[in-house]
Structure 1
């Protein structure tokens, strides 16, 4: 489609295609502000077709296709946070009995670990309940502590491309690392609507198949309230 012969119409189409509202584009095209006229020009068949053409050309230049958009949405919609971070991991830390006692005081949980050697088991009651199970190796008295690590991000070079595409933000704060993924529900909703899975329900009749009650200016406040109550209660 060629450039619109009316230069103001062409400029209006260009402005709308850049994301401006019809009212803003109308003024920037050289017209006096008038929301009604702006809306009418926006609905003009040739202007509407020109806007669509400009948008399509921009998308093509940027390499944006429906398939690519759907693919990016799918990364978010079907992402799994466990591929980007881990938590509750258990690690075994060899340490002295004194350090082992410190771990127990910190979390109040019993801890144990097996060593492939001659061992001597020992159970000690703890102030917060439970018991510390120690296994000593030879005469060295080495103890293993089962410690639960806090949440940790998986290194970026170990994350697959799909998971990386679902990550919205990673930043360092005073409290530690802040991590956020894109909204899965929003992505699923957009995908579902694109595929026609979700349909907005529009009522074409009132309760029991009757006409939809309307409230008009000719009604008194009481009549309007009664009519509205009828639509809620299903009155004929």
Structure 2
């Protein structure tokens, strides 16, 4: 069954922010019923199919794939601030960083200190993206935090041990 013009507009608007209520309002549905209409639209098979198709089209056009997003999260989650420093404890020039390390850097600020108009030193502030947020996103992706977690406690303990440098126990 083909979508109505309003349903097609809902699909396009839903892709803006993945908010069904706001998409319904922008698509022309009443503000009073937008919440329920948005929820109803999301369970209609033909609208679900149209949303999936549009997501795939956007992914193809932009090159954004689940794999690419996960790789970016991994850059942040497994970044090591020590990679920003030279062996003599100076910060590398940002242009010298490899893609993995640079991908974890959120911002770099350089404040030049001067005396009587002459530069005498500088302070560099480097801010990395939040590792915990990235680790949580990756953990959710692999099902690490699901309520009905099917993973064994031993497997979870091995992951924790790996993070702290302890080798996992071999199965007996």
**1:156 maps to which of 80, 94, 97:** 94
Shift of 1:172: 2.6
Greater strand proportion = 1
1:159-178 correspondence to structure 2 within 5 Å = 159-173=97-111, 176-178=123-125
SS of residue matched to 1:153: coil
Q: Which residue of 2 aligns with 1:59?
A: 59
Alignment equivalent of 1:19, drawn from 14, 17, 20: 17
Following TM superposition, by how much is the alpha carbon of 1:157 offset from its aligned partner in structure 2, in angstroms? Answer: 3.3
Q: CA RMSD in A?
A: 2.5
> Which consecutive unaligned segments of at least 5 residues does structure 1 have?
90-150, 203-236
Query: Secondary structure of the equivalent of 1:15?
Result: helix
Question: Which has more helix, going by share of residues?
Answer: 2
- Please say which of residues 151-160 and 25-34 is displaced more in the overlay: 151-160
> 1:201 deviation in Å?
5.6
Find the aligned partners of 1:189 and 1:20 in 2 and give their Cα distance. Answer: 21
1:31 match? 29
Residue of structure 2 aligned with 1:180, choices 96, 103, 127:
127
What corresponds to 2:45 in structure 1? Answer: 45
Alignment TM-score, normalising by the size of structure 2: 0.69
Which residue does 1:74 correspond to in 2? 74
Count of matched residue pairs: 138
Deviation at 1:73, TM superposition (A): 1.4
Q: Deviations over 1:83-128 (max 9, x none)?
A: 11369x5xxxxxxxxxxxxxxxxxxxxxxxxxxxxxxxxxxxxxxx
Note the C-alpha offset of 1:171: 1.8
What SS does the corresponding residue of 2:126 show, helix, strand or coil? strand
Q: CA deviation at 1:27?
A: 2.1
Which residue number in structure 2 is paired with residue 190 of structure 1?
137
Greater radius of gyration (CA)? 1
Structure 2 runs not aligned, ≥5 long: 114-122, 150-172
